[in-house]
Amino acid sequence: MNRWLVRMGLNGVLWTALAISTFAKSAKPLEIYFIDVEGGQATLVVSPAKRSLLIDTGFPGGRDSERILAAMQSAGIKKLDYLVITHFHRDHVGGVPELVQRIKVETFVDHGPDTETSDAAKETYAAYTKAIGRSPHVSLRPGDGLPFKDIRVQFVAAAGEGITSPLPGAGEANSYCDGASQPQPDTTENSQSLGLLISYRKFRFLDLGDLTEDKQWTLVCPNNLLGSVDLYLTTHHGGSPDNPKALVWAIHPRVAIMNNGEHKGGSPAAWQIVHDSPGIEDLWQLHYAADGGTEHNSAEPLIANVDQKSDGHFLKVTVRPDGGWKVKNDRNGYEKAYGK
């Protein structure tokens, strides 16, 4: 075999180069759909091999499950391999009962039992547990992952805890912690949020759900255990103080997406921190933040839904195997490329 390879000479080299080029062109991209659920979360991740992961389901009532199904149809998938629930607030878990009546979910993933005990919280959690029934279900902890072969899914936070050792390439001292005091503990379900880092080759996407500032602190102060990312979904819908400079500036995102609603999230203070992050190229939004004014909203082409008449549009991220990637606005078709 080795002698045959040697005899191929220049023709063999050219053939090999052509084969590699053809493979690169035929390889499928990673796709991420940021679905408009009016200030909750529903993020659909479709791997190059067409395996799927949905992060949260938005509100109850059927509207958001319809929008998720529309995104799935656009992605060409008919079932979910994993449904990850970051935490049990109704804007993240409320859509589960309607969704499971329409599609098959192979495995449900969460942080364990709900930590809140109000009547409303108990009702929401009961609806979730009833909906999943006896389906496969796992509760994960920091450092756990999901068994995708073509992408890497790592959990960096769960059940009020975070990773304690730096990820590969991370661990440097974080100067943005200097002069800042450690936030007070938060005891709501937000603090229990699952946080995910999704990687495809060199591309890295961070989604921390509604993780609170005090839990973020342990991930980046005094040392940044996460490293830098290409794409950052603003935490807690772009709310403040849960997008502090100590986190956002440390992870150094090239692009951020804010999953705000018209009157939910999109805090001017948080928007400004993200907007001013060193090296950031663009801040995209799922909605125009009506309470932010023109000075705290991105340019119109970067906003998926500009008013109530345009609700339901998503933002789509496509990552090619060669490292190039782009964001596209479903409302107006505007897209922008990043990377190669």
Q: Give the rounded percent of residues in the chain with a pLDDT score beyond 70.
A: 92
Q: What are the tens digits of pLDDT across the range 203-245?
A: 999 999 999 999 999 999 999 999 999 999 999 999 999 999 9
Q: What are the tens digits of pLDDT across the range 234-284?
A: 999 999 999 999 999 999 999 999 999 999 999 999 999 999 999 999 999
- Determine which helix (DSSP H) or strand (DSSP E) holds 152, and give its type and residue range: strand 152-158
246: domain CATH number is 3.60.15.10
Closest to 43 measured CA to CA, from 11, 79, 83, 81: 83
Amino acid in the structure at residue 324: G
**3-state DSSP helix/strand/coil percent for the chain, to nearest 5?**
30, 25, 45
Residues 189, 120 contacting (CB under 8 angstroms): no
Closest to 237 measured CA to CA, from 269, 204, 221, 260: 260
Do strands 231-233 and 203-207 pair parallel, antiparallel, or not at all (unpaired)?
parallel
8: confidence class by pLDDT, cuts 50, 70, 90? very low
Cα distance from N-terminal residue to C-terminal residue, the chain = 36
Q: What are the tens digits of pLDDT across the range 26-81?
A: 579 999 999 999 999 999 999 999 999 999 999 999 999 999 999 999 999 999 99
Cβ atoms < 10 Å from Cβ of 301? 13
In a domain, 156, yes or no: yes
In a domain, 265, yes or no: yes
307: confidence class by pLDDT, cuts 50, 70, 90? confident
How many domains would you assign to the chain? 1
Query: What pLDDT was estimated at residue 14?
Result: 40
Domain that holds residue 126: 29-338
| Overall size of the chain counted in residues | 340
Cβ atoms < 10 Å from Cβ of 49? 12
- C-alpha dihedral (123, 215, 246, 293), degrees to nearest 10: 10
User: Looking at residue 209, what DSSP letter applies?
Assistant: T
In a domain, 186, yes or no: yes
180: confidence class by pLDDT, cuts 50, 70, 90? confident
In a domain, 19, yes or no: no
Please tell me the distance from the alpha carbon of residue 68 to that of residue 50, in angstroms, as a whole number: 16
In a domain, 16, yes or no: no
The arithmetic mean of pLDDT across residues 3-14, rounded, is: 34
Full-model pTM = 0.91
Distances (CA, A) of 244 to 68, 211, 220, 271, 284: 30, 12, 11, 10, 18
* Ranges 12-21, 115-124, 141-150, 193-202: which has the least confidence: 12-21
Query: What pLDDT was estimated at residue 328?
Result: 98
Query: What pLDDT was estimated at residue 339?
Result: 78
Query: What pLDDT was estimated at residue 1?
Result: 35
Q: Give the rounded percent of residues in the chain with a pLDDT score beyond 90.
A: 89
In a domain, 86, yes or no: yes
Residues 225, 249 contacting (CB under 8 angstroms): no
In a domain, 69, yes or no: yes
pLDDT for residue 185 is more than 60? yes
Q: What are the tens digits of pLDDT across the range 309-325?
A: 778 999 999 999 999 99
308: confidence class by pLDDT, cuts 50, 70, 90? confident
In a domain, 118, yes or no: yes
Q: Which two tokens mark 227? A: 């490293």
